[in-house]
Amino acid sequence: MKTQQEIWQNMYGKTFPQPLEILVEQAIIRELEMGHDLKVCIGSDSHVYGDCVHYATAVVFVRKRKGAFTFIRKQKEFQKISIKERMLNEVNKSVEIAYRIYEILDQYKMEIEVHADINTDPDFKSNIALKDAMGYILGMGYVFKAKPFAFASSNCADMMV
């Protein structure tokens, strides 16, 4: 499986040369200096185009009662996979990012949630991965959110994939 180089951007397409860890810490410092109360939500979404799976991972900074802003990473992977494997790949990408920035968030006492683009209604195909995704996210010690409460994956990442 071949994955593209990591590049972070905002919702308007502006790219950032810094690693995510630096972007996160700079954003936290800036927002705290402005007096904002923050929480961070991380989610991923994907779309399949033939043998290519397009992924987007969103790191959403929610300014409580004052809006939000997002850093997005887009990736393409060339493989044929099942719906369950694709849902778990999305969750894995989100957990990987949460793990990378956890120490920074913990240092500043930031809340963190990991959002899964998985439907809680068993009539939807993505539901096949719900229990595994929930166990993985909760087992890593993060707050778990699924549809319809998983806006980082269902809205932010979905818009960019």
CA 43 to the chain's CA centroid: 2
Distance, in Å, from the CA atom of 44 to the CA atom of 87, rounded to the nearest integer, reads 9
pLDDT digits 0-9 by tens, 77-127: 998 999 999 999 999 999 999 999 999 999 999 989 999 999 999 999 999
pTM listed for this prediction: 0.93
pLDDT digits 0-9 by tens, 9-58: 999 999 999 999 999 999 999 999 999 999 999 999 999 999 899 999 99
Averaged over 131-140, what is the pLDDT? 96
Segment holding 139, helix H or strand E: helix 130-139
Distance, in Å, from the CA atom of 74 to the CA atom of 84, rounded to the nearest integer, reads 20
